[in-house]
Amino acid sequence: MPKNYLVESILATMFCCMPLGIVALINASGVSSAYYRGEYALAQYKSAQAKKWLKWSVITGVLYIIFWVVILYVCNAAQDSHVFMSHPGMAQ
């Protein structure tokens, strides 16, 4: 039986990118049933699809985290600069 990536898909759905993780989860859940029905090519296809969507879910989740870390860093750097302290009533 091909690897079904079910556990990995559940974790990716919870922690990475939910929409892509759900697609991976749907494909992963179909691997076993297709295999036990004797549809070996379909089971292999669903396994490959689950792996593909799992990979994209993790990549999207990592890029999302990197994006927010950069945004928070830029906002913190801008706040620490004197750009926001140029108002005449603020202390220098």
Q: Which pTM does this prediction carry?
A: 0.77
pLDDT at 86: 57
pLDDT in tens, 37-61: 999 999 999 999 999 999 999 999 9
In this model, does residue 81 exceed pLDDT 80?
A: no
**pLDDT tens digits for 57-73?**
999 999 999 999 999 99
C-alpha–C-alpha distance, residues 34 and 53, integer Å: 18
Locate the domains of the chain by residue range: 6-80
